[in-house]
Amino acid sequence: MEDFLYEVVEITQTIWDGVLFGSTYALIGIGFTLIFGAMGKLNMAYAGAAIAGAYVGLAVSMFLDAPIIFVFAVSALVSTLMGYIVYQTCFRFIPTHNHLAALMASVGGLFLIDEVIVLATRGSPMNFPGLFEDAYFELGPFGIRGDLLFVFFIGIVSTVVLLYVLFKTRLGMATRAVAQQDVAAQLCGINIHRTNSITFSIAGLLGGIAGAMTAAAVGVLSPVMTVPLTIKGLIVTVIGGLGSIPGAIIAGLFVGAFENFFLYIRGIDERDMYVVALLFIFLVFRPNGIFSKTITRD
Amino acid sequence: MKNISKLIGASLLLIALSIPQSAIYAGPTLKVLGWGAKSGPLKSFGVNSEAALRSAVAEINSAGGVRMGDGSMAPMEVIGYEDSACKKDEAIAILRKTASTTDAIVGMGTTCSGVCQAMFGVLQKKVEDTSDSGVQMPILADTCIRPGLAKISEWSFRNVPNEITMYDELFKWIRTAYPNVKTFTGGSETDQGHSFITYTAIIVQMAVKHGFEWVGPAVPELGPKVKQGMKELQAAAKSQHWLMGDTNYTVQARKIKKQNADMVLVASHPFSACGFMKEMKRQRVKPKLLVGLTSSASQETLNGCMSAAEGIIIPTGFAPITPEAKKANSIVSKAGGFLDLHSSAAWENAYLVKRAVERAAIMGRPDTLQQDRRNFRNALASISSQKGLIGPLTRDGSTGEADKPYVYVQVVNGKWKVIHDPNS
C-alpha cells in the first residue's frame, strides 16, 4: 500500500511537472500555428529564431549589466525583428503555391541561425538568469517550481492577447482574411505582404518570449536546444491542430505531461518513441487536431 | 626616380610579406593535417585543438623545427585543419582525402570518441597484413577517451589518460579525503557514447570498488569490475538519465533527490550537465559531493552553470600546474583558444610528432611519402614515454593504450582549482 501511494504521488508530480514544462512547448507551438494559420506554411526557423533572440538578449544584458527583465525585453524585440527577416528571406519572394520551397528555405534558415549561434558562442552553453529561481514550493510530498508557474501564466496571457488581436482588431481581421482567401483579401484592399510581415513579427515576438522563458526554465542556453524545440513545437502544432491557438496551448501542456510520464515509467530511451507514436495516432485518427470537430481525409 | 625606387621597394616588401614562410623555405617541410569539430555544438573542441596545435607547431618552428632524415632542420607545417563536426562520416571522408590527396605525414584528430572509433575502423588493422586494404595513414588523436579504441588499428594513436585508472584512483582518494561520503547515485546522457558507456561501465563500478554504496535503482549484478552489471544498470536506472538536447530534468532530479545519496555522479557534457545540476539546485538536492565526467572539466561548464557546479570534482588531463603548462596555456589563450583536457593533448601531440619524426629519419619528399608514413608510424609506436605538459605521457607498446597524467580539479568560488595531483 505504501509503495502504491508512493507511486501515485510520484506519477502525479511527474505529470504536474510535465504540464508546467509543457507551457514552454505551448509557447513555441503557438508561434508555429499562428504562421500556419495565416499562410498555410510551416516556418521551421521559428524555434531557432526564438533561441537566437534569447542569446542576443543575454548578450546585451551581460554587456550592459542590465536586470533580467531587460533580457526578456531584448529577446522579444530581437525575435520580432527576426520573424520579419525570416518572412522576407524565406517566404516573401517564394510563390504562394510552392509550399516545399518555403519549407526548405525555412529549414535552411534554422540551420543558418544555429550555425551563427555556434560561431558566436563556440557552441558553449551560456548561463541564463532564471525568473523566480528560488521559488520552489513544497506542499507535502509535492513540489512546484514557481518559475514554471510564471511561464504557465505567461502562456495564458499570451494566448488571451493573441486571440484578442486576432478576433477584435482590424489587424486580426486582415490576418484572418488573408489566411482564408488571400486573393479576395487583396481585392478588398488588404496588403498581403504587409499583413504577413506583421503576422511573422507577432509570432517572432511570442517566440522571443518563449525562447527566453525556455532558457530561464532550463537555466542554460545552448545551440543544442534549437532542433529538439523545433521538433516539439511541430508535434504540438500538429496535435493541437494546424492553425488552432487554443489547440497549441492544450497540446503543449499535454505533450509535456505525456513525455514526462513516459520518461518516468519507461525511461529516457523510450520516451521520445511514445511522443512520436502519439503524433502518429493523431495524424491517423484526428488529423485535424485535438479540438477539430471534423476529420478531413482524401 | 626616387619615388619609383620607393614604390618598387614597397612593392617588393609587400610581395615578400605575402609569400608564406614555407614558400620561402626551399628544403623539405614536415607536413601534418589536423581535423576536429569546427562547427556544430561541439565546435569548441576543434577551435581549441586547432589553436593548440598551431601554437605548438609555431613554438617548435621558432626553436628550429624538426630534424629530418638527411640531417637538415625543417619547419613543421599544418597544411590545414578540417572540420569533421564530430561526425563519423565527415571524419572518415577527411581521413581518406588526407591519405590519398595530401602529402601530410600524419593526420591529427579528432577529439570525439565515437568519431575515432568509426575512423580507426577504416584503417589497416595490422601493419604487416598485406591482404587488408584499409587506409595506411598514421592518426594521432587528441583525447578520444573511450576505453578500448587504441587496439582497433596499429595505425591509430591517441593521447589520453587511462579512464579506468583515473576513476579508480579518484574514488580511492575520495574514500580518504571525504570519509563521511558513503552512498552514491547519478545520471548520464544516453545519446553520447563516451558519457554513457564510461558511466555505466567504469565510473559506477570504480565507486563500488572503493566501498561506496549504490543507492539508485536496485542492480544486484553491480560489482567492482569494469562492465560488471553494466547492462543491468543501464536498464534499471533508465529514468534518471537524459539526452544532450533535453530541456526538462525534473523527473531525473526528483528521483535522485529521493535516493538521498551522499555523492551524485553527473556523467555528462557541459550542455546537459548544467541543465541537470541547475534542476537539482532548484529542487534543493544537496549531496555532500558532486563528481563529474572528465569532458566537463572545461570552461564551458563555468560558462553554463558556475554556481550550480560549485564543488564538483572532476578528473582531468590538464591543469596549468607546471611552468610548461602555464606557458602553453598563455600562448594558446593569446591565439584565441583555451587549453583543456582535449586541446592540451593537441599541443602535446605536436611534440610527439617532432620526436617520432626525428626518430624515424623522415625524408619529407613526395617520392618517399608512403615510406615516411610507415616509418613515422613505427617510430611513434616505439615511443613509450614523452614529456607532457603536466607529467610524462606513456604508452603501453603491447596494448597500444596511452596513459596521460591527470589531476583532480574542483569548482571553487567559480574557478577550476587543482585539489589533488595523484603524481605528486
Domain map of chain B by residue range?
Answer: 26-161+321-405, 163-316
Helix (H) or strand (E) holding B315: strand B313-316
Chain B nearest CA to A99, separation (Å): 28
Q: What type of residue is A235?
A: I
Q: Kindly report the number of other CB atoms within 10 A of residue A67's CB atom.
A: 11
Å from B171 to nearest chain A CA? 27
Question: Are the Cβ atoms of A124 and B270 closer than 8 angstroms?
Answer: yes
The answer, yes or no, to whether residue B23 has pLDDT greater than 50, is no
pLDDT at B104: 96
Rounded Cα gap, residues A9 and A5, in angstroms: 6
Residue at grid coordinates 525570416: A86
The answer for A 5-34 residues in CB contact with B (under 8 A) is 10, 13-14, 17-18, 21, 24
Cβ atoms < 10 Å from Cβ of B266: 27
Question: Does the beta-carbon distance from B270 to A260 stay under 8 Å?
Answer: no
Cβ-nearest to B251 among A24, A223, A260: A260
A88 and chain B: CB distance < 8 Å anywhere?
no
**Residue B183: pLDDT over 70:** yes
Residues on chain B touching A150 (C-beta within 8 angstroms): none
Instruction: Quote the pLDDT of residue B128.
Output: 87
Which residue, A14, A22, A24, is CA-closest to A143?
A: A14
C-alpha cell at B219: 542492480
* Domains of chain A, earliest start first: 2-285 (1.10.3470)
**Burial bucket for residue A24 (CB in 10 Å: 0-12, 13-18, 19+):** buried
pLDDT tens for chain A, 298 residues long, are 778 888 899 999 999 999 999 988 998 999 899 898 888 889 999 999 999 999 999 998 888 888 888 899 999 999 999 999 999 999 999 887 888 999 999 999 999 998 899 888 888 889 998 888 778 888 888 888 888 888 888 888 888 898 899 899 998 999 889 888 888 999 999 999 999 999 999 999 999 998 998 899 889 998 888 888 999 999 999 999 988 888 999 999 999 999 999 999 999 999 999 999 999 999 998 888 888 777 666 6
Tell me whether residues A145 and B250 touch, CB distance under 8 A. Answer: yes
Whole-angstrom distance, CA of residue B114 vs CA of residue A34: 40
Q: Note whether A290 contacts B: Cβ–Cβ < 8 A.
A: no
Please tell us whether the domain made up of B26-161+321-405 is placed in CATH 3.40.50.2300: yes
Quick one: closest CA in B to A124, which residue?
B300
Q: Is A85 in the B-facing interface, judged by CB distances under 8 Å?
A: no
Helices of type H across B26-67 = 43-62
Locate the chain A residue with the closest alpha carbon to B309.
A127
Q: Which residues of B touch A268 (CB under 8 A)?
A: 190, 238-239, 241-243
The whole-number average pLDDT for the span B145-159 is 88
C-alpha cell at A187: 481585392
HSE (side-chain half, CA atoms, 13 Å) at B108: 33
The pLDDT tens digits of the residues spanning B379-408 come to: 999 999 999 999 999 998 888 888 899 999
- State the Cα–Cα distance between residues A241 and A91, nearest whole angstrom: 22
User: Which CATH entry fits the domain spanning B163-316: 1.10.357.10, 3.40.640.10, 3.30.420.40, 3.40.50.2300?
Assistant: 3.40.50.2300
Give the DSSP per-residue string, chain A.
Answer: -HHHHHHHHHHHHHHHHHHHHHHHHHHHHHHHHHHHHHHS---TTHHHHHHHHHHHHHHHHHHHT--HHHHHHHHHHHHHHHHHHHIIIIITTS-TT-HHHHHHHHHHHHHHHHHHHHHHHTT--EE-PPSSTT-EEEETTEEEEHHHHHHHHHHHHHHHHHHHHHHHSHHHHHHHHHHH-HHHHHHTT--HHHHHHHHHHHHHHHHHHHHHHHHHHHSEE-GGGHHHHHHHHHHHHHHH-TT-HHHHHHHHHHHHHHHHHHHHHH-HHHHHHHHHHHHHHHHHH-TT-TT-SS----
Give the best residue of A51, A122, A134, A258 to mutate against chain B (max B CB count within 10 A).
A122
Interchain contact, B300 vs A125, CB within 8 Å = yes
Q: Do A263 and B251 touch (CB under 8 A)?
A: yes
pLDDT at A140: 85
Residues forming beta bridges with residue B420, ordered by sequence position: B408
Give the nearest chain B residue to A144 (CA atoms).
B283
Specify the pairing of strand B385-387 against strand B289-292.
unpaired
Is residue B253 scored above 90 in pLDDT?
yes
Cross-chain Cβ contact B44/A123 below 8 Å: yes
3-state secondary structure of B120: helix
Residue B151 confidence (pLDDT) above 90: no
- Taking an 8 Å cut-off on Cβ atoms, the answer to whether B244 and A126 are in contact is no
A141 to chain B, any CB pair closer than 8 A? The answer is: no
Alpha-carbon gap, residue B178 to B165, rounded angstroms: 19
A145 bridge partner residues: A136
Q: What is the ipTM of this complex?
A: 0.87
Q: Measured between CA atoms, how close is A172 to chain B, in angstroms?
A: 33
Q: Do B274 and A145 make contact, defined as CB atoms within 8 angstroms?
A: no
Q: What is the pLDDT of residue B18?
A: 53
The answer to whether A10 contacts B254, with C-beta atoms less than 8 Å apart, is: yes
CA distance B6 to chain A (A): 43
**Chain A: closest CA distance from residue B79 (Å):** 23
Confidence of residue B184 (pLDDT cuts 50, 70, 90): very high
For the segment B276-326, what is each residue's pLDDT rounded down to a tens digit?
A: 999 999 889 999 999 999 989 988 899 999 999 999 999 999 999 999 999
Which residues are CB-contacts of A47 (< 8 A; sequence separation ≥ 6)?
A: A28, A110, A207, A211, A226, A229, A230, A233
Tell if the CB–CB gap between B248 and A133 is shorter than 8 Å.
no
A149 neighbors A131 (Cβ within 8 angstroms): no
Q: Is B24 exposed, middle or buried (0-12, 13-18, 19+ CB in 10 A)?
A: exposed
Please give the pLDDT value at position A222. 87
CA–CA separation, B140 and B236 (whole Å): 37
Cβ neighbours of B284 in A, within 8 Å: 136
B143: alpha, beta or left? (left if phi > 0; alpha if psi -120 to 50)? left
- Amino acid, res. B211: G
Contact B245 A10 (CB under 8 A): no
- A-B interface: how many C-beta pairs under 8 angstroms? 121
- Given a cut of 70, whether residue B15 has pLDDT beyond it is no
Could you tell me which of B106, B92, B103, B104 has the C-alpha nearest to residue B134? B92
Whether omega for the bond prior to residue B165 falls within 30 degrees of 0, making it cis, is no
- A62 phi and psi, to 5 degrees? -65, -40
Rounded to two decimals, what is the model's pTM? 0.86
Q: Is A116 on the interface with B (CB under 8 A)?
A: no
For residues A85 and A107, give the distance between their C-alpha atoms in angstroms, rounded to a whole number.
Answer: 14
User: Which residues of chain A lie closer than 8 angstroms to B190, CB-CB?
Assistant: 268-269
Judging contacts by C-beta atoms under 8 Å, the chain B residues touching residue A210 are none
Using a CB-CB cut-off of 8 Å, the residues of chain B touching A265 are 239
One-letter amino acid of A266: R
CA distance A56 to A71: 8
Residue A217 contacts B where some CB pair is shorter than 8 Å:
yes
Using an 8 Å Cβ cutoff, are B139 and B106 in contact? yes
| Chain B residues whose beta carbon lies within 8 Å of the beta carbon of residue A220 | 271, 274-275, 278, 304-305
Same fold, B26-161+321-405 and B163-316: yes
**Residues B278, A143: C-beta atoms closer than 8 Å:** no
